[in-house]
Amino acid sequence: MSASVLYMSMSLDGYIAGPNDEVGNPGGDEFMRLHEWYGDFSRPSGPTGELWDEWNAPGAILAGRRTVEQVDHWGGDNHGVRIFVPSHRPPGPSVANYPLVTYVTNGIESAMAQAKSAAGKRDVLMLGAYTAQRALEAGVLDELQVHQIPVLFGGGRRLFEVLPSRIELEIVRVIDTPEATHIRYRVRR
């Protein structure tokens, strides 16, 4: 059975995007600082390479509308799998050109059920802070893979700005590299 896993690089002070995070500047100012740990977009060696393999092996993606619209839905193809976008509004016209992208307007629970069905035995890769918060609230996020970057941003967009209640996690794995500490958590239910 697949698991839903949020993958997120985050500054030590909790930011996943820098200031001025908008369509013309996805991720905000200095955003790439949070992603230097994986190098030049080719598979690194060692433990970072293992994380790279996990990142590149999802069976489906569930991503927030803001996330996908900032990057024009990755041109309709991210990892070659179906992309599900929970939203209260129908998609813009460009989505008609992207057969792998499905907007789900009847809730995060339905979006996750569809993503897990599409993923089969592989994991669902989740992206987007707001979407992660809603998935935690609905009880449909299983794990979090946080790449903790040794930098203090001091501003931008936080991963967990607003949570509905306390959520307990258990540490599943910790991989320490010179560029980041990679912590995988399981959501306790």
What does the pLDDT average to over 77-87?
A: 94
What pLDDT is attached to residue 24?
81
Lowest mean pLDDT among 21-25, 149-153, 164-168: 21-25
CB-based contact 60:119 (threshold 8 Å): yes
- Which residue shows structure tokens 């930098």? 151
Please state, in angstroms and rounded to a whole number, the distance separating the CA atoms of residues 120 and 118. 6
CB-based contact 133:121 (threshold 8 Å): no
Give 171's contacts (C-beta < 8 A, 6+ positions apart).
183, 184, 185
Answer whether residue 1 shows pLDDT above 80: no
Cα distances (Å, whole numbers) of residue 100 to 15, 25, 80, 96: 30, 25, 8, 10
Answer whether residue 21 shows pLDDT above 90: no
Domains of the chain with CATH codes: 4-187 (3.40.430.10)
What pLDDT is attached to residue 43?
86
Tens digits of residue pLDDT in 27-76: 889 999 999 988 777 888 888 888 888 888 999 999 999 999 988 898 99
What pLDDT is attached to residue 23?
77
Tens digits of residue pLDDT in 96-155: 999 999 999 999 999 999 999 999 999 999 999 999 999 999 999 999 999 999 999 999
What pLDDT is attached to residue 133?
94
Q: What is the pTM of this model?
A: 0.92
